[in-house]
Amino acid sequence: MTENYLADVQITPRAGILDPVGETIASALGNLGYEDVRSVRAGRLIRLEIAAETAQDAQTAVESMCEELIANPIIEDYLVTVRDVEK
C-alpha cells in the first residue's frame, strides 16, 4: 500500500559560494535597522507530492531526484523533509 507524502526540498547556494541575493537581503535588513542579522542565504523551495510505501522510501526517492535534477550538488546544498499529507 502506498501513501502520499509531501516532500519539501530546500535548496541554497553551497557554503563558500557567493550568494549575492542573500547579501543584498542582509544589507537591506541592516538598512531597516535589523542589526542582529548575521548572514542571509537565499534559496528556493520545491514541494513535491509523492506516493511511497514509507516516509523513508519517499525521502530516498526525492534525494535521488535532487542528485539528478532538482539540485546541482556542485553549486547547491539541498535538504529534503518528508511529511504525511494532511487528510
Partner 1 sequence: MRVGIVRFPGSNCDTDMYRAVTVGLREEAIFLWHKSHHLEEVDVVVLPGGFSYGDYLRCGAIARFSPIMREVIEFAKAGGLTLGICNGFQVLCEARLLPGGLVRNASLRFRCHNVGIRVENSDTPFTRAYEQAQTLHIPIAHGEGQFVADNETLDELEGENRVVFRYVDDSNQTTLEANPNGSARNIAGITNAGGNILGMMPHPERHSLKVLGNTDGLGVFESLLLAVSERKLAAKPIHEGKMVGTQ
Binding site for partner 1 (CB under 8 A): 13, 16-18, 20-21, 24, 69-70, 72, 74-75
Comparison of 57 and 76: residue with beta carbon closer to partner 1: 76
Least distance to partner 1, CB of residue 40, Å: 14
Bridge partner list, 7 = 48, 82
Q: Which three cell numbers stand for residue 48?
A: 513535491
Interatomic CA distance for residues 63 and 83, integer angstroms: 14
* 3-class secondary structure, 30: helix
Comparison of 16 and 33: residue with beta carbon closer to partner 1: 16
Comparison of 3 and 13: residue with beta carbon closer to partner 1: 13
Q: Which of 66, 46, 57, 43 has its CA nearest to residue 5?
A: 57
Least distance to partner 1, CB of residue 82, Å: 21
